[in-house]
Amino acid sequence: MATTKPGSRESKHPGVLGADGRIDLSGGALAQSSGERSTLRPSGDAWIVDRDRRTLLPLPPAPSVGGEGESEVELPDDIHQEIADRFALGDYVAALTAAELQLGVDPSDEGARQYAETSRQRLEARYTTRIGSLDYIFNLAVPVAKVKWLGLDPQAAFLLSLVDGQSTVVEVLEACQMKRLEALRVFTELLDAKAIIRVA
């Protein structure tokens, strides 16, 4: 009859001693082979293993706001339409500005040239009507000491200095050394600002 020593019977609970006789407090976890990895945390090589199954194609480019083939530079037809629209609305300053810009790009643009000339004529007529007559005589409406408070630019200040109560508008325009249309515009602005007043 075989006898068994205490503690030698088999148990479902792992022993404290390992196969090599050393104390094993890990409950047998150290018995795993050194080549095995723990599945409790993902491996750093998981992405490499799965790399061949991934789609690494670059993202498609975002669609442009203006659509395909649209140029950022305005076409001549668009520029002409803008000039015509401004002119039709009576905004001759904007029409003239756009026409002159187009002539700077293409000096041979006859349509833009005609709009520019007509816009100048309309603006000159508008300024002249506002003044009343180019034969009128104007004088300062504010004391000379307060002219600096008007906040005039150098051109307007020089033109204002020529308004002396004796010279006609024509004489002032000729003496100011400015382009006629620009001088008329500045003279009208001085009149609207009540910086000058008609005396004759």
Tell me the per-residue pLDDT of 85-129, one tens digit each, with 9 for 90 and over.
Answer: 999 999 999 999 999 999 999 999 999 999 999 999 999 999 999
Bridge partner residues of 23 (DSSP)? 17
Among candidate residues 107, 131, 155, the one where a domain is terminated: 131
37 is a domain residue: no
Q: How confident is the model at residue 148 (pLDDT cuts 50, 70, 90)?
A: confident
pLDDT of residue 71: 42
| pLDDT number for residue 13 | 53
In this predicted model, what pLDDT tens digit does every residue of 2-57 receive, in sequence order? 455 554 455 555 555 556 656 555 555 554 544 544 444 455 555 555 555 555 54
Q: Is residue 1 part of a domain?
A: no
Total number of domains in the chain = 2
Last-in-domain residue among 131, 149, 169: 131
> What predicted TM-score, i.e. pTM, was given to this entire model?
0.60
pLDDT the model gives residue 151: 86
pLDDT at 66: 47
Q: What is the dihedral of CA 160, 165, 168, 172, to 10 degrees?
A: -20
* 24 is a domain residue: no
Which CB contacts under 8 angstroms, 24+ apart, belong to 77-84? 79/112, 80/111, 80/112, 83/111, 83/112, 83/115, 84/115
> Same domain, yes or no, for 113 and 153?
no
Is 46 part of any domain? no
Residue 84 lies in a domain: yes
Residue 200 has pLDDT above 80, yes or no: yes
C-alpha triplet 173, 179, 153: angle, nearest 5°: 80
For residues 169 and 120, membership in a common domain is answered with no
Give the mean model confidence (pLDDT) for residues 155-175.
Answer: 94
Residues 114 and 142 in one domain: no
- Does the pLDDT value for residue 180 go beyond 90? yes
**Is residue 38 assigned to a domain?**
no
How far apart CA 183 and CA 159 sit, in angstroms, is: 8
Neighbouring residues of 28: CB distance < 8 A, sequence distance ≥ 6: 14
- Residue 146: what pLDDT? 85
The answer on 114 and 82 residing in a single domain is yes
Task: Identify the pLDDT of residue 80.
Answer: 93
Which of residues 92 and 150 earns the better pLDDT score?
92
Q: Which domain holds residue 90?
A: 76-131
Tokens of 61: 């480019």
Q: Is residue 18, in this structure, part of any structural domain at all?
A: no
Residue 31, amino acid: A
Q: Which long-range contacts (CB under 8 A, 24 or more apart) does 142-151 make?
A: 142/194, 142/195, 147/195, 150/193, 150/195
What tokens does 119 get?
């816009």
What is the secondary structure of the chain as a DSSP string?
A: -----TT-S--SSPPSB-TTS-B--STTGGGS-TT---TTS--TTHHHHTGGGS--PPPPPPPPTT-TT--SSPPHHHHHHHHHHHHHTT-HHHHHHHHHHHHHH-TT-HHHHHHHHHHHHHHHHHHHHHH--TT-BEEESS-GGGGGGG---HHHHHHHHH--SSSBHHHHHHHTTS-HHHHHHHHHHHHHTTSEEE--
Beta carbons within 10 angstroms of residue 78's beta carbon: 10
147 with 124, same domain?
no
